[in-house]
Amino acid sequence: MLRVTVWNENLHEKEMPEVAKIYPQGIHGAVAQAVGALDGVVTRTATMDMPEHGLTQEVLDQTDVLFWWAHCGHGQVSDEVAERVAQNVLNGMGLVVLHSAHKSKPFLKLVGTSGSLKWREIGEKERIWTVDPSHPIAQGLDEHFELPHEEMYGEPFGIPQPDELVFLSWFAGGEVFRSGCCFRRGMGRIFYFRPGHETFPTYYDPNVIRVLQNAARWAAPLKRVDGFPCPQVEPLEQV
């Protein structure tokens, strides 16, 4: 059984009627439904307005993979919760970072860079190409798929070189982007996936759903540990 928690700042849904219309259960609801359609996956959701943003240590201990969507509320996430999430990733919990969460506190803590990028919000066409067809996250996809209307994100993207690069995006307006990036940190696995602007029904797209499902399985921990200590050790040899 794979236990997935989908976290969302859940701000646009409350403030922008057009977002609420597209995602009546919230973006977290749509993502949870997508991933939860997989056999053997159980999902729960958590949002920023819950106590401790819904991410108590107990919840994280029961989470194999955490999905994170956020945009304008990065600064409202408490440092304590952000640190707790990052530590849990280092201890083995998977993390799937969605769209504008490229600037979220947990992601930036884990990659150490700026997360900066270019953007343009005119709803242009995005075409997502698989550069590593052997990768588990690319399984079941064609060589490329299209999203008719998305926000554009452009390079240079302020990330370390990904451990594995899975997808590249082409945008009608002339930009490219590393849209599917794997990072291994500590015992945990992190996948950044670009699409998912709040004003488009991206998380209902069958190909996007497939990526979310593949990512949940890929990021699932083999085992969880209680942190890496720095132990003083006895010599193993006669020195």
What's the CA gap between 230 and 85, in Å, rounded?
A: 21
- Name which of 57 and 113 has its Cβ closer to its own copies: 113
**Sequence-distant (≥ 6) Cβ neighbours of residue 233 within 8 angstroms:** none
Told to check if 173 binds its own copies by CB under 8 A, we report yes
Dig out the tokens for 220 from the structure.
């699932």
Q: Can you tell me which of 17, 40, 75, 235 binds its own copies, judged by CB under 8 A?
A: 235
Q: Can you tell me which of 160, 201, 204, 206 binds its own copies, judged by CB under 8 A?
A: 160
Identify which range of 11-19, 46-54, 151-159, 196-204 contacts its own copies by CB under 8 A: 151-159
- Name which of 52 and 124 has its Cβ closer to its own copies: 124
Told to check if 170 binds its own copies by CB under 8 A, we report yes
Map the footprint of its own copies across residues 86-145, applying CB under 8 A: 86, 90, 92, 103, 109-114, 116-122, 124-125, 127, 129-134, 136, 139, 143
Residue reference for tokens 């006669």: 238
CB of 178 to its own copies, least distance (A): 7
- Name which of 15 and 142 has its Cβ closer to its own copies: 142
CB of 100 to its own copies, least distance (A): 10
Burial (0-12, 13-18, 19+ Cβ within 10 Å), 35: buried
- Name which of 31 and 168 has its Cβ closer to its own copies: 168
Map the footprint of its own copies across residues 30-89, applying CB under 8 A: 86
Q: Is the dihedral of CA 71, 85, 47, 189 positive or negative?
A: positive
CB of 19 to its own copies, least distance (A): 19
Give DSSP secondary structure letters for 130-147: ES-TTSGGGTT--SEEEE
227 sits in which H/E element: none
3 sits in which H/E element: strand 2-8
Contacts with its own copies by CB under 8 A: the residue count is 73
Pairing between β-strand 164-171 and β-strand 118-130 as defined by DSSP bridges:
antiparallel
Nearest to 127 by CA among 159, 172, 158, 166: 172
Cα torsion through 23, 107, 67, 88, rounded to 10? -150
- Name which of 1 and 222 has its Cβ closer to its own copies: 222
Told to check if 226 binds its own copies by CB under 8 A, we report no
Phi-psi region of 123 (alpha: psi -120 to 50; beta: other; left: phi over 0): left
Map the footprint of its own copies across residues 192-221, applying CB under 8 A: 221
- Name which of 44 and 109 has its Cβ closer to its own copies: 109
